[in-house]
Amino acid sequence: MNILLTGYAGFIGFHLASKLIKDNLIKNIYGIDNLDSYYDVNLKKSRIKILQKLDTNNKLKKFTFDLKNSKKLNETFKKIKIDVVINLAAQAGVRYSFSNPKSYINSNIIGFFNILELVKSKKISKLIFASTSSSYGSQSITPYKENLMNNTPLQLYAATKISNEVMAHSYSHLYGFISIGLRFFTVYGPYGRPDMAIYKFTDSIYKNKKIDLFDSGKMLRDCTYVDDIVEGIMRTLNVKHDPLKKLKHNIYNIGFGKPVTVKAILKQIELNTGKKALVKMLPKHTSEMNKTYCSTLKFNNDFNFKPKVKINDGLKNFNDWYKSYHLK
């Protein structure tokens, strides 16, 4: 099987690429990443070095360009056979969209459109793409089930990911390829994104910096360890039966299914680090969801998988990695 993996040097992309390299069913992995400076590019370079060490059979072919460059995308893969596209490339983050909205349109709308056009023109059989729990926006009905209306996003990031789901549906319907959108819930783990709360809290505690804690930490988050996210993606890639026979396009949640308060997360990080956090209390921002809470039923029914890593175990793993990477 030949896989096109976008965002291969990103957080989830790196962990997925590591898994794909070890999979005997995978012949070639064509990885694209623009290595942008949204966060420290040295972290991405560290991930790439690890992939290079793992890749003893030279499965991973690396390309550095932006998906908004449709000419480069089409020229690069004109004569390369691709069986499945896994699109993890995106401009992530919520607050960054307040000051840099255009980057979300370029990456998440134009870039995704170019991927859809590639799948269409090359008659690729399956597209798997990342969506987000943020798509549920102001919904108050929990746990979030995939059939809930999601037309009330609270930020531009969520709006672009909802757009991806709708765009993929139309292309799948018109051109007959299988399209699977995966709504990830608060992903964390080693080599994570420094802009995410768990990474920021840990980093700030070790550096004796103040932590901005919104709404007294009362917001609930359904935190999902990266290994479980990767296993979920692999299930959609390798599934033997086809739950999508009747419907070419489908959306699934992947989340642990047990939300915890941000305050409880911070307390556990304090225990792991052995240090007390310096906290600055701030009011809840209008872009923030009160709660994310994943229904795991649909994904478990179709792919026989539920995330397994408990939050305290995952936080310990992250702390161990942080110390080995930053404090060595």
Q: How far apart are CA 232 and CA 182, in angstroms?
A: 9
CA distances from 136 to 103, 179, 198, 246, 318 (A): 22, 20, 21, 25, 27
| Res. 243 pLDDT band, cuts 50 70 90 | low
* Confidence check: pLDDT of 273 > 90: yes
* Confidence check: pLDDT of 38 > 70: yes
Euclidean distance between the first and final Cα of the chain, in Å? 39
Within 8 A by CB and 6+ apart from 95, the residues are 285, 287
* Confidence check: pLDDT of 134 > 80: yes
Q: What is the mean pLDDT of the chain?
A: 95
State residue 95's pLDDT score.
Answer: 86
- Active site residue: 157, 171, 191, 322, which one? 157
Q: For residue 171, give the amino acid letter.
A: Y
Return the closest-CA partner of residue 135 out of 106, 112, 166, 113. Answer: 166
State residue 240's pLDDT score.
Answer: 58
| Coil, helix or strand at residue 307 | coil
Active site residue 157: yes
What's the whole-number mean pLDDT along residues 31-43?
94
Segment 71-80, tens digit of pLDDT: 999 999 999 9
What's the whole-number mean pLDDT along residues 291-299?
96
What's the whole-number mean pLDDT along residues 125-154?
94
Segment 175-214, tens digit of pLDDT: 999 999 999 999 999 999 999 999 999 999 999 999 999 9
State residue 263's pLDDT score.
Answer: 98
State residue 239's pLDDT score.
Answer: 66
* Confidence check: pLDDT of 238 > 90: no
| Residue labelled with tokens 């990885």 | 31
- Give percent of the chain above pLDDT 90: 92
What's the whole-number mean pLDDT along residues 128-156?
94
CA distances from 206 to 199, 293, 309 (A): 11, 30, 24
State residue 328's pLDDT score.
Answer: 80
State residue 94's pLDDT score.
Answer: 85
2-186+225-255+294-308 in CATH: which number? 3.40.50.720
Q: Where are the alpha helices (DSSP H) in 208-294?
A: 226-238, 262-273
Q: How far apart are CA 115 and CA 68, in angstroms?
A: 9
156-175 vs 112-121: helix axis angle to the nearest 10? 10
| Residue labelled with tokens 């919520």 | 94
* Confidence check: pLDDT of 228 > 70: yes
- Give percent of the chain above pLDDT 70: 97
Return the closest-CA partner of residue 82 out of 169, 177, 219, 172. Answer: 177
* Confidence check: pLDDT of 217 > 60: yes
Query: Listing from the earlier edge strand, what are the strands of the sheet with 60-63?
Result: 60-63, 28-32, 2-6, 84-87, 126-132, 178-184, 249-254
* Confidence check: pLDDT of 241 > 60: no
- Strands (E) located in the chain: 2-6, 28-32, 60-63, 84-87, 126-132, 178-184, 187-188, 210-214, 220-221, 224-225, 249-254, 260-261, 278-282
* Confidence check: pLDDT of 253 > 90: yes
DSSP strand pairing (260-261 vs 220-221): antiparallel
State residue 245's pLDDT score.
Answer: 63
Segment 9-21, tens digit of pLDDT: 999 999 999 999 9
Compute the 3-state secondary structure of the chain and give helix, strand, coil in percent, each to the nearest 5: 45, 20, 40
Say how far residue 54 (Cα) sits from the centre of its chain.
22
